[in-house]
Amino acid sequence: MSAPRRPSMIGDSLAQIGAVGLFLFSILAAIPKSLRHFRETLRQIWFLGAMSLVIIMTCGLFVGMVLSLQLYYTLAKFGGTAALGTVVALSLFRELGPVVAALLFAGRAGTSMTAEIGLMRATDQLSAMEMMAVDPLAYVVAPRFIAGIIAMPLLACVFNTLGILGAHLVGVSWLGLDNGTFWGNMTSNVDVWNDLINGVWKSTAFGAVIALIATFQGYTTPPTSEGVAYATTRTVVSSSIVVLALDFVMTAFLM
Amino acid sequence: MNQSNPSPVAGANAAAENAYVQIRGLRTVLNGKIIFDGIDLDIPRGKITAIMGPSGTGKTTLLRHITGQLQADAGEIRVDGRNVPDLSRNQLFDLREKIGYLFQNSALLTDFSVFENVAFPLRQHLRLPEELVRNIVLTRLQAVGLRGAADLMPAEISGGMARRVALARAIIRDPSLMIYDEPFVGLDPIALNQVLKLIRTLNDTLGITSILVAHEFAAVRRAADHVYLIAGGKVAAQGHPDELAERDSPWTRQFFGGEADGPVPFQYPARDYAADLGFPAGAV
Amino acid sequence: MTQPRRSFQVGTGLFILLGFSALAYLATQTTSVANYTQGDSYTLKAKFSNIGQLKLRAPVKLAGVRIGSVQSIELDPKSLEAVVVVGIDTQFKDIPDDSGAAIFTSGLLGDQYVGVQPGGSPVAFKNGDEFILTQSSMQLEDLIGKFLVSGDSSKTPPKADASTSDTVEPAPKNP
């Protein structure tokens, strides 16, 4: 577990990627068994998803408001304020919603996953489960992984909704754009599959990646308080990087 | 009664037949350090066998070998007739359902109340009516004297109580082998005696085979039927605790007498002291 | 101990419900799904020599009110004109059959839509009818080019269909 760190960065990160890959396979293998602990999965959706609602909703509202404010003045230069609703909706659905919600999710839920599993490792709770013939992969890791995949797209949708409402608040109620123009322009330009659902797929993938990284870091952390702290930091850093990189890859190749 | 065999291999005929756990030629290297160098060990059925040794000799590692949490580099570990290194993950889980394990730090699940902690193995493996679960859990909690604490969370109870809850959890499914990993560490004398009494009672009343890893020789002497002293990767001495205490070997004298220096050196292996301080060799 | 367990299950259910209703709200209120006419519709055809940037599901408006959407855009291989099929909500079933269709741009740079100028015929359009009078998309380039070349406004724009170009103004023959 706490093997001495080798100085070679490349070899280290390759080994890390390989380990994460193997870990993913063992999670997938444990998923059938984890269905017996479905209640635990529900509990994790509650802790990871519902508990992240406040931050997701607040941030969604403000992102939508600031987006509306910025874009309104930029569009006004071209006489195109009618397109405000469209531009806000497209940027939210396609990029900002999934990505920002994922970054928030990594900070709010990913860290708690890592810290929780790391502490369970440090206090022998995982070994205790193994000794009680309960597979911690099926009981602890897989439910969190599934919960991440389920909760993330739902959170992104909530984020998007609040963002649209925030944009409407600023654009229509404050800056005086016509209500019909705002919605009408949006509805005629935003496609449900290409824009909205593609964003939902993206956020599903982000949820899986964040949950994978967070559980991996927690599961393999050195069983010390220092190790848990370090693993928590690494969860945020690596899942942020991976989310943004994956976002580019998915946008470039899948859309 | 063959607890005081001079060598387990020589007396293997009867003892090995009767042994619940049988270890032969165990070799383990961890991080380049030799932990075990050919250990032979028998845990007789229905007895309390203590495993003692200086810190860092791998007593916990030995337990992890027995339960299959850690693979040994060589050797045979037979638990109830099955060779642990050969078992698949699922077979290991089957085996572990018959083993109760008391962790050094209790390892209670922090999310669950005392009651749910004790009920956890039942709920995971059996589909029992809630009424029955409640009765089984409460009898076990009664046995460790903590029925009144059933609704407390692990964070709300003391270390000694946590140890007893963990013990109740370990025996909830009537294991045939109980493993106690340093059950006395960090307990005050009262709690220590409570746990000690429980270990003895469990063995006397239920006839559970027990492995006890501990440092406290006084406590071990009152509980164990047989003691293995492991040091330097080998079995340094073994026998009935009373007999072992009187035996005159450097290992037993240092370990049971508590001498600071002896076969287990006070100094961690180091370069020559004088050279390290920059003096000509032999100056200190 | 069943009580707290039940409560987070309910909470989890509410959370999932909230997420899905957010998705449903977004899908039905902010995307083109909102433009699908829910009720029955009938189709009309219109031929244009140039449709500009008209897209599928672009709105069809009468007097600025949305009455339907563009269902298909094809090229007639013989006449080399664009055939636009629009779906009109059946609640607007009394559109005179001499009404004209034109492609307009909302705002200077906005999206294009099909505008219907009502005629005066007592007979209403039936399913599958064709607009006789159509006006193609106003191309900004053409307008500018026309403006630059000469002030001669009698000349029809080069791309406009000669037969239908100037027939858009409603011809109120009879009520």
Q: Could you write out the DSSP letters of every residue in C125-167?
A: P-TT-B-SEEE----HHHHHHHHHH-S-TTSPPTTS-TTTTT-
Under 8 Å between Cβ of B50 and B223 = yes
- Bridge-based pairing of strands B226-231 and B99-102 is unpaired
| pLDDT over 90 at B241, yes or no | no
Contact criterion met (CB < 8 Å) for A53 and C15: yes
pLDDT value, residue B27:
87
| More reliable by pLDDT, A74 or B253 | A74
Residues of C in contact with B116 (CB under 8 A): 1
* Percent of the residues in chain C that have a pLDDT greater than 90, as a whole number: 10
Under 8 Å between Cβ of B131 and B190 = no
pLDDT value, residue A5:
52
> C123-136: string of b/e by CB count within 10 Å (b at 16+)?
eebeeebebbbbbb
Q: How many residues does chain C have?
A: 175
Alpha helices in A169-197 (DSSP H): 179-189
pLDDT value, residue C174:
47
- Bridge-based pairing of strands B99-102 and B234-239 is unpaired
| pLDDT over 60 at A1, yes or no | no
The model's pLDDT over C142-165, given as tens digits with 9 standing for 90+, comes to 777 777 776 555 545 554 444 444
Total Cβ atoms within 10 A of residue A164: 29
| pLDDT over 60 at B259, yes or no | yes
* Integer Cα distance of B11 and B136 in angstroms: 41
Residues of C in contact with A158 (CB under 8 A): 18-19, 22
Q: What are phi and psi of B241, to 5 degrees?
A: -55, -40
Q: Tell me how far the alpha carbon of residue B88 is from its chain's centroid.
A: 23
The mean pLDDT value of chain B amounts to 83
Chains that touch A (3 or more CB pairs under 8 A): B, C
The mean pLDDT value of chain C amounts to 77
Lowest mean pLDDT among B29-33, B249-253, C153-157: C153-157
pLDDT value, residue B281:
63
Type of residue found at A232: T
| pLDDT over 80 at B213, yes or no | yes
pLDDT value, residue C150:
63
Contact criterion met (CB < 8 Å) for B124 and A132: yes
Nearest CA in chain C to B114: C1
| pLDDT over 90 at A92, yes or no | yes
User: Mean pLDDT over residues A174-181, rounded?
Assistant: 85
The model's pLDDT over C88-143, given as tens digits with 9 standing for 90+, comes to 888 888 888 888 898 888 766 667 888 888 888 888 888 888 888 888 877 777 77
Contact criterion met (CB < 8 Å) for B101 and A131: yes
Alpha helices in B56-171 (DSSP H): 59-66, 89-96, 114-125, 130-143, 159-170
* Integer Cα distance of B211 and C97 in angstroms: 97
In 3-state terms, what secondary structure has residue C116? strand
| pLDDT over 70 at C5, yes or no | no
| pLDDT over 70 at B17, yes or no | no
Window 20-49 of A, Cβ < 8 Å to C: 39, 42-43, 45-46, 49
* Integer Cα distance of B222 and B212 in angstroms: 12
pLDDT value, residue B232:
78
What does the block give as tokens for B209?
A: 């085979």
Q: Which residues pair with B209 in a beta bridge?
A: B177
Alpha helices in B89-158 (DSSP H): 89-96, 114-125, 130-143
The model's pLDDT over B142-175, given as tens digits with 9 standing for 90+, comes to 988 889 999 999 999 988 889 889 989 998 888 8
Contact criterion met (CB < 8 Å) for B108 and A135: no
Sheet containing strand C133-135, strands side by side: C41-48, C81-89, C65-76, C59-62, C112-117, C100-105, C133-135
| pLDDT over 80 at B245, yes or no | no
Selecting from C16, C58, C111 the residue whose C-beta is nearest the C-beta of A154 gives C16
Q: What are phi and psi of C50, to 5 degrees?
A: -155, 125
Looking at mean pLDDT, say which of A63-72, B163-172, B189-198, C164-173 comes out highest. A63-72
User: Mean pLDDT over residues B242-265, rounded?
Assistant: 73
Of the candidates A91, A75, A89, A70, the one whose C-alpha atom is nearest the C-alpha of residue A188 is A89
Nearest CA in chain A to C113: A188
pLDDT value, residue C36:
63
Size of interface B-C (CB pairs under 8 A): 3
pLDDT value, residue C98:
87
Contact criterion met (CB < 8 Å) for C30 and A83: no
**CA C29 vs CA A174, B41, C20: distances in Å:** 21, 74, 14
* Percent of the residues in chain C that have a pLDDT greater than 70, as a whole number: 76
Residues 6+ apart with CB under 8 A from B252: B229, B236, B237, B244, B245
pLDDT value, residue A254:
74
pLDDT value, residue C166:
45
User: Mean pLDDT over residues A203-227, rounded?
Assistant: 94
Q: What are phi and psi of A170, to 5 degrees?
A: -75, -50
The model's pLDDT over B86-117, given as tens digits with 9 standing for 90+, comes to 888 888 888 888 899 998 888 899 888 999 99
The model's pLDDT over C9-67, given as tens digits with 9 standing for 90+, comes to 888 999 999 999 999 999 988 887 776 655 678 888 898 888 888 877 778 888 877 78
Interface check C63 vs B, CB under 8 A = no
Contact criterion met (CB < 8 Å) for C31 and A187: yes
pLDDT value, residue C1:
40
pLDDT value, residue A164:
96
Residues of C in contact with B113 (CB under 8 A): 1
If pLDDT is split at 50, 70 and 90, which confidence band does A175 have? very high
> C87-106: string of b/e by CB count within 10 Å (b at 16+)?
bbbeebeebbbbbbbbbbbb
Residues of A in contact with B169 (CB under 8 A): 132
Contact criterion met (CB < 8 Å) for C15 and A154: yes
For the whole model, what pTM was predicted? 0.79
Of the candidates B268, B265, B263, the one whose C-alpha atom is nearest the C-alpha of residue B252 is B263
Contact criterion met (CB < 8 Å) for C12 and A50: yes
If pLDDT is split at 50, 70 and 90, which confidence band does A150 have? very high
Residues of C in contact with A196 (CB under 8 A): 23, 26-27, 30-31
Interface test with A, best of C10, C21, C31, C37 (most A CBs within 10 A): C31
Interface check B115 vs C, CB under 8 A = yes
Rounded to whole angstroms, the maximal C-alpha distance in chain A is 69
- Bridge-based pairing of strands B74-79 and B82-83 is antiparallel
